[in-house]
Amino acid sequence: MLLGATDLDVHPLCLGTNVFGRTADAQESFEVLDAYFGVGGNFIDTADIYAGGASEEIIGRWMASRGNRDQIVLATKVGMGAEPGLAPRRIAQAAQESLRRLQTDRIDLYYAHKDDPDTPLEQTLAAFDKLVKAGKVRYIAASNYDADRLSQALDTSARESLAPYVALQPYYNLVVRDRYEGPLQDLCAQRGIPCLPYYALAEGFLTGKYRPGGDAVESSRAPRASAYLDERGLRVLQALDEIAAAHRIAVAAVSLAWLAAQPTVATPIASARTVPQLQDLLPFATLTLSDAEVRRLGDAAQ
């Protein structure tokens, strides 16, 4: 599938790599990347701050060892971390550092990781445009922007003839909907901006592995995932369980399929620390929920 108005041909599942170099070591990360690539996966999302740059380094070593850079659509980000912001100098420096860690000459999709209200949009977008014109970046995108700032950025690019943001990466999933649904979703629909949600599985809750009395409650993600274990969360899990059983697939795949069925959503982003975790996600790529199933999940999450 093509991503929005770009020529980036991407797999339905974007592989998040925030766990690489953190809870997944290099060998585990290589195994996940090999398994994802082996089923046709080609869209990898990282950031300069993930594991202090280790995620980018692991991906770079993997692509170099497999010789498959030209088959990968690679996304990374700038704007957070120890030196935050989107000042031109910071963007230029961060891009060079990411290119070095990734062992590549280009970034396919380069995100502003977070809005920087202290730097004029004209300066930020001109810095990104310079990278595009130099061939170091193919397209730029925004993450964690609200509707007003994204609209201003798109208008600024059009007015100044600068490379525009071609996608948005917001926090959005079945149980966290108010951050995206509404003005931001409406803007994306009006401007033809595809949405690539992060935390698509609500920090693990929508995998169905975090339940009262379950073994997963001892994991490091348990406190965040368990925050959704209220009456509404249990109602969502029941609906997910029944739909997953009907399709004979994992709950995580159903959760991603609901997200992909929402207006403007192009490619959900989900991470996997191990190959079995990835295998739970992959059936999503060929799953189409019925309208009734989509409504049932949405109603359960109200």
**Catalytic residue numbers, as ranges:** 50
Contacts of 12 (CB under 8 A, 6+ apart): 1, 260, 267, 284, 285
d(CA 124, CA 215): 46
Kindly state the helix (H) or strand (E) to which residue 77 belongs, with its residue range.
strand 73-78
111 with 131: CB under 8 angstroms? no
Q: Is the dihedral of CA 43, 15, 282, 257 positive or negative?
A: negative
- Which amino acid type is present at position 209? K
- Return the axis-axis angle of helices 88-102 and 54-66, rounded to nearest 10°: 40
d(CA 168, CA 152): 14
Q: Exposed, middle or buried: residue 172 (CB in 10 Å: 0-12, 13-18, 19+)?
A: buried
d(CA 210, CA 5): 38
d(CA 153, CA 186): 16
282 with 39: CB under 8 angstroms? yes
How many other β-carbons are positioned within 10 Å of the β-carbon of residue 296?
Answer: 17
Contacts of 133 (CB under 8 A, 6+ apart): 163
Residue of 13, 4, 74 whose CA lies nearest to 268: 13
